[in-house]
Structure 1
Amino acid sequence: MPYIDATGVKLYFEEAGDGHPIIFLHELGSDSRQWETQVRYFSRSYRCITFNARGYAPSDAPRDPALYGWELAVNDIAAVMRGLVIEQAHLVGSSMGGYAALQFGLRFPQRASAIVAAGVGAGSAPSERDAWSRETSILARAFIERGMDAMARKMAHGQTRIQLKYKDTRGWQEFWERLRHHSPLGLSNTMARCQALRPSLHDLADQFGAMRIPALLAVGDEDVPCLETNLMLKTVLPNAGLWICPNTGHTINLEEQAAFNAQLDSFLAAVERGSWRRGRPEIEAKSNLKLEMTSDTRTKAVAR
């Protein structure tokens, strides 16, 4: 199996296709197999790379909680790029992976040519912060105390994941089955160190205001914990677009595979031809307003 060393932790990766690199970053409840449909499609034109985060076999799952955290998740993206000799890549992340992609964009702005953040922002809304802290602490213990069978069932039937069952029962069963076989220690440490301790995206609004990387935000309209934060990100990220997919929950790329691929394809094509969000509408509006005011002043002066 192919591995990359990331500060003493081995990360399992796969790649397919040739062209500009796309690195896919999975969510808490899945692994690199989450992106199979996207890899099959985009590897026709891109070099597609997936890897399992630390804690997700066959990547290493360290026992030491200190070897987990959102900062390490960002560093792991850089380690994968270094190991595969990639200077710059498009980043496509789901939930936890989308959070890491956005943080990577802040830390390494020259190395991300585009960012897609799907279903990002759970626990970031100011009204959710206290509850998020309590819930992540409880869940971190539950992975160990209750085991993966019970926790996989709970997560697969959650209010933002059950939509996949209604649309694609077989795909939902595959998701559930894969989740059952994850390491309870790996998910416990990931929940306790990566999810629970990560800063709210709302607290980074000023930093995002200076980030010029082309970005596509994707969220399902039934992914309620993420809606407020995506609207905030759309407001502060100067080069971002927002796609809200109807009747869709958290697993947007699994629930609506064709629509997700089409949106991603269109976004990346626009980025690569240089036509993605050439300017900020509010700046152009202010500029036009000044021109109108100047023109109006001149007209009045002539009339006098």
Structure 2
Amino acid sequence: MRATIESITGRYMRLDYKGREHRIYFEEAGQGIPLVCLHTAGSDGRQFRGILNDPRITRDFRVIAFDLPWHGKSSPPAGWQDGDYQLTSADYTDIILTVCRALELDRPVAMGCSIGGRIALHLAMEHAEEFRAIVGLQSSAHVHPYYDTTWLHHPDVHGGEVCAAIAAGLVGPNAPDAHRWETVWHYMQGGPGIFKGDLYFYKVDGDIRHRLSEIDTSRCPLYLLTGEYDYSCSPADTLETAACIPGATVSIMPGLGHFPMSEDPEGFIAHLLPVLSEIAHR
């Protein structure tokens, strides 16, 4: 039986971040405009496998998906056992900029989902000059608490399974089974307490409702794409966010949930291609 070898290349980089050495894993494919993909809370860059493998995208874009420290194949820094992981807005922004600069990317496009969609708003607000465009998937300025995060890292429950259970409910009903279960599997593999630590940013530290008017889309175009079945970042949440940002472009994607690029890559890419085409021809 012949194997099909994908064109994705995976590598590690060692970089100094906040005075500590980090070993960061990233995958890339394609050439042209850099497109940096930011995964969801508790998961990793595998969520962008459909984007990395699509020749319609990689013909014009160098797609790069990296695992945040503590996630996927990226290791936590030495001494991690002496503290708890908790993601803040400042740290999240800094690691994205550090990776982009380490790879010497020239004004990349940043595309993030969920917590990545939230930090995309921070990047548009605070670092517009660093990016060619920002694409926020499942983006909102805040999230209404709807579950107790203490159960995500608790000795009485299986951490991977409880994290996956929450993720499973956010997948759209039309997602192909293979993609649905692969998305859930990624959550089952997350490190202890990592999903909970990410949600500190999503639920507490990253709330920027009062600052949305600072985003200037004339400096950096902003595109917001949200699945209609998401109840963590609902279409109403994204529309409310966009209403506070003059010039933001919004698209509500029928049939998709909270993980559009992972749960239904083909369905999502149909919405993404027009956005990337507009960015490429600006």
Name the CA shift for 1:256/1:14 in 2 (closer, same or farther; >3 Å).
Answer: closer
**RMSD of aligned residue pairs (Cα, Å):** 2.3
Partner of 1:280 in structure 2?
A: none
Distance 2:101 2:88 in 1: 20
Partners of 2:218 and 2:240 lie apart in 1 by: 14
User: What percentage of residue pairs aligned between the two structures are identical?
Assistant: 21
Q: Secondary structure at the match of 2:165?
A: helix
Letter in 1 for 2:13: Y
**Structure 1 partner of 2:191:** 183
Q: Name 2:250's counterpart in structure 1.
A: 242
TM-score, normalised by the number of residues in structure 2: 0.83
* 2:68 is aligned with 1:53: yes
Aligned to 2:100: 81
Corresponding pairs, count: 261
Q: Which residue of 2 is the match for residue 18 of structure 1? A: 31
**Is this contact kept in 1: 2:12–2:25, CA < 8 A?**
yes
Residue 258 (structure 1) shift: 2.7
Given residue 39 of structure 2, which amino acid in structure 1 is its aligned partner? Answer: H
Give the 3 Å change call, closer, same or farther, for CA 11–44 of structure 1 in structure 2: same
CA distance in 1 between counterparts of 2:85 and 2:190 reads: 20
Match in the other structure for 1:195: 202
| Residue 245 of structure 1: how far off its partner (Å) | 1.2
Q: Name 1:38's counterpart in structure 2.
A: 51
* Higher fraction of helix: 1
The structure-2 alpha-carbon separation of the partners of 1:85 and 1:98, relative to structure 1 and needing over 3 Å to count, comes to same
- Partner of 1:203: helix, strand, or coil? helix
List per-residue Cα deviations over 1:108-136 (Å, max 9, x = no partner): 111111111111228x25xx3xx36xx4x
Instruction: Evaluate the alpha carbon distance shift between residue 167 and residue 260 of structure 1 in structure 2; reply closer, same or farther with a 3 A threshold.
Output: closer
Please say if residues 148 and 179 of structure 1, whose CA atoms lie closer than 8 Å, have aligned partners that are also in contact.
no
What SS does the corresponding residue of 1:2 show, helix, strand or coil? strand
Is 2:228 the partner of 1:221?
yes
Farther-moved stretch of structure 1 (53-62 vs 100-109) = 53-62
User: How far is the alpha carbon of 1:27 from its aligned partner?
Assistant: 0.5
Choose between structure 1 and 2 for higher RCO, CA contacts under 8 A separated by at least 6 residues. Answer: 2
How far apart are residue 102 of structure 1 and its match?
A: 1.7
Give the Cα–Cα distance (whole angstroms) in 1 for the partners of residues 139 and 65 of structure 2. Answer: 18
> Distance in 2 between the 1:228 and 1:212 partners?
26
| Alpha-carbon separation, structure 2, partners of 1:150 and 1:112 | 37
How far residue 43 of structure 1 moved from its aligned partner, in angstroms, is: 2.1
Deviation of the 1:37 alpha carbon: 0.4
* Structure-1 separation of matches of 2:34 and 2:212: 28
1:171 pairs with 2:191: no
- Report how far residue 67 of structure 1 moved: 6.2
Q: Tell whether the 8 Å contact from 1:93 to 1:118 is kept in structure 2 after alignment.
A: yes
The answer to whether the aligner puts 1:264 opposite 2:272 as a matched pair is yes
1:157 aligns with 2:176: no
State the SS of the aligned residue for 1:57. coil
Q: Residue 103 of structure 1 aligns to a residue in which SS?
A: helix
Distance of 1:198 and 1:176 partners within structure 2:
26
TM-score, length basis structure 1: 0.77
- Per-residue deviation at 1:11? 2.1
- Judge conservation of contact 1:54–1:186 (CA < 8 Å) in 2: no
Question: Aligned pair in 2 of structure 1 residues 65, 196: CA closer, same or farther (>3 Å)?
Answer: farther
State whether residues 16 and 43 of structure 1, in contact with CA within 8 Å, keep that contact through their aligned partners in structure 2: yes
TM-superposed CA distance for 1:211, in Å, is 6.2
Q: Indicate the structure (1 or 2) with the bigger Cα radius of gyration.
A: 1
**1:219-251 CA distance string (max 9 Å, x none):** 112213422321123222223211111232212
Q: Name the CA shift for 1:254/1:150 in 2 (closer, same or farther; >3 Å).
A: closer
Distance 1:111 1:232 in 2: 26
- Paired letter, 2:149: L
Structure 1 residue 29 displacement after superposition: 4.1
Which 4+ stretches in 1 moved above 6 angstroms? Answer: none
Contact 2:111 2:135 in 1 (8 A): yes
Contact 1:140–1:191 (Cα < 8 Å) also in 2: no
